[in-house]
Amino acid sequence: MKTVQAYRFALDLTPGQERNVLAHAGAARLAHNWALARVKAVMDQRAAERTYGVTDERLTPAFSWSLPTLRKMWNAAKAQVAPWWAECSKEAFNTGLDALARALKNWVDFRTGKRKGRPVGFPRFKSRRRVTPSVRFTTGAIRVEPDRMHVVLPRLGRLKLHESARKLARRLDNGTARTMSATVRRDGGRWYVSFTVEVDRAERVPARPGSVVGVDVGIRHLAVLSTGERVDNPRHLTAAQTRLRQLGRSLSRKIGPDRRIGQRPSKRWERAAARLGRAHARVAALRRDGLHKLTTRLTREHGTIVVEDLNVPGMLANRRLARHIADAGFAEIRRQLAYKTSWNGGRLLVAERWYPSSKTCSGCGAVKAKLALSEREYHCEVCGLVMDRDRNAAANLAALAAEFDTAGSGPVAARGADRKTRLGGQVAVKREPGTTPVGQTGTVPPQVGTTDHVLAKAH
């Protein structure tokens, strides 16, 4: 199975190498801003001409916003715009032009309805002090040295790694991976190099292919499994909150930048800001490490994993819980489960957003009309079941897998459920005509390496 994945390694750059990388990042920013200025100038000119009554045939000619067109324009004007262009790799300028071409395409697609999701605005000019320095190389000498502690990039030369690249080097030596690009980026005060690699992964099977587990994510416990296991929430942001407050107060006492009067930040302010950035980067790294370990263990052990389609933006509207929800990383858990199940030969089922997993009794299927968030135990008034609230929800999620297999294989629409919780009734899975009805014998083999959406209604 061929897939595209990234390998990220920390770098140990010398001061000279860091200046060279920053020069390449600045070249990318310059090319981006120059091309954006050309685009805006033509758009503004055409808009002004229309106000004068000029017909469309006589307007200032427009040009394509594709990367080849922007690159051709840059090559024609780079001698005047950047006389020092030969000191940097051509990939540096291509990085800025490619970012602008993608941003313009996303803006057009959103305006025309081709792109869904959050609103996409028109691209903005990149500031030297606010933008994250990065440069991407797609051609030239990109390789890992035999000692696996150095990498070679175009014009940047031989860079020392902070950690061994043996995992990537083994695949490259065996011919099971092909390097597509390399990106050098500064994150939290440290430089990283990320290799985008096309990997030929071996077909894998989970340790228990027939195992089905429901995963209910939360704040008190990061994940509660239908097997009864509870994964504690480390709450890395809460643990680091005291130090973050101290660093924030220290930063506020320094002379920072002020764009209104053109004031430059002091050196002490820059050092304090760097310390605060490193503290936040450490929290993010700890969170990312814990989530990777959890999702890898689940996908390697269980053949079917069932999760909920949570409305995370709506949950973040709760000002009392927003910070804890963001610290848990609900969306990241689902994202990692989606691609890791395909890597390990399993499947991921996503329950419909309005499926009442917490309000439904896992024993008899009765549904409560209301269930306060403070009620941590589920008490069923029909069968008398008493169970932990989160484990009851995980058990209901795991039960959806059997109903999905009975209803039929293949993706099922995930929208259309009613937001209102109705009393009584069993949870049903939408099925296509001709498939085995729920409750009768006969199952459909699960689809390996897929992410399916289960439509569940209480009726």
Enzyme catalytic residues: 216, 308, 390
The string of DSSP codes covering 334-349 is HHHHHHHHHHTT-EEE
CB atoms within 10 A of CB 24: 26
Q: Taking the alpha carbons of 446, 448, 450, 451 in that order, is the dihedral positive or negative?
A: positive
From CA 52, how far away is CA 411, in angstroms rounded? 54
Residue 216 CB contacts under 8 Å (≥ 6 apart), including other chains: 223, 224, 225, 308, 357, 358, 390, 391, 393, 394, 397
* Element of type H or E holding 252: helix 241-252
From CA 379, how far away is CA 371, in angstroms rounded? 10
From CA 69, how far away is CA 71, in angstroms rounded? 5
From CA 446, how far away is CA 403, in angstroms rounded? 12
Question: Nearest Cα to 159, choosing from 145, 179, 175?
Answer: 145
3-class secondary structure, 301: helix
Give the tokens for residue 246. 């101290």
Residue 335 CB contacts under 8 Å (≥ 6 apart), including other chains: none
Please list, residue by residue across 188-200, b when 16 or more beta carbons sit within 10 angstroms of its beta carbon and e when fewer do.
eebbbbbbbbebe
From CA 245, how far away is CA 280, in angstroms rounded? 11
* E strands present in 234-316: 302-308
Round to the nearest angstrom and report the end-to-end CA distance of the chain.
41
* CA atoms in the 13 A half-sphere facing the CB of 251: 17
Residue 339 CB contacts under 8 Å (≥ 6 apart), including other chains: 3
Q: Specify the amino acid at residue 302.
A: H
